[in-house]
Amino acid sequence: MKFYKYILPFILIALLGSCENMDQEMSDDELIQAIISSENRISVTKNDLPKTAISTLNFKMSDDVIRYAELAPELGFEIEMKSWGFFDFELDYERNDNKYFTTKGRELESSKGNKDDWGDKKNKNGKKKRGPCFKFVYPISYTMSDNSVIKGDNRKEIHNQ
């Protein structure tokens, strides 16, 4: 009996000390993939988005608007951004503007992205969606019908003209 009296507390301490937190959080990449693959996504308005997500978008993409937003319940939001002006829409072909947020509004950062170099994305069936037909290579120069020239070394430089 004395043996159990001394060994039982030791076993109890060892047992409690070896317990690990079994709650494993999904990585950002796994969560983004789960949002993309979710079957029951719901369209939401800007008013339904968390304030932290809206402020992040306003800070990082101040010249863009929300094209659509969808909520994958219990997972997070997928938000597609688009440029405001006509010329900006032309440049949208080369952009990856799908942003992902948790239900609490934290932006999800993908380590690999969900697109290949040409912007092709995998859809829910695992097949690739067709990406843009072309990709801009900078420096670029446009000659307009009135013989004016728009040129730039990067996307921002063209937007400022």
For residue range 52-61, list pLDDT tens digits in order: 999 998 888 8
pLDDT band per the 50, 70, 90 thresholds, residue 117:
very low
Task: Please state the pTM of the whole predicted model.
Answer: 0.54
Write down the pLDDT at residue 135: 66
Average pLDDT on 67-85 reads: 85
Q: Give me the mean pLDDT over the 44-70 stretch.
A: 87
Token pair 């789960």 is found at 34
pLDDT category at 146 given cuts 50, 70, 90 is: very high
Could you give the CA distance from residue 76 to residue 70 in angstroms, rounded to a whole number? Answer: 8
DSSP E strand stretches across the chain: 42-44, 64-72, 76-83, 98-102, 140-143, 149-152
pLDDT at residue 140, as a whole number? 83
DSSP 3-state of 115: strand
Amino acid at 153: D
Sheet containing strand 98-102, strands side by side: 42-44, 64-72, 76-83, 98-102
Q: What is the largest CA-CA distance in the chain?
A: 101
The count of other CB atoms within 10 Å of the CB of residue 76 is 27
Residue pointed to by tokens 């369209």: 43
Confidence band, pLDDT 50/70/90 cuts, at residue 129: low
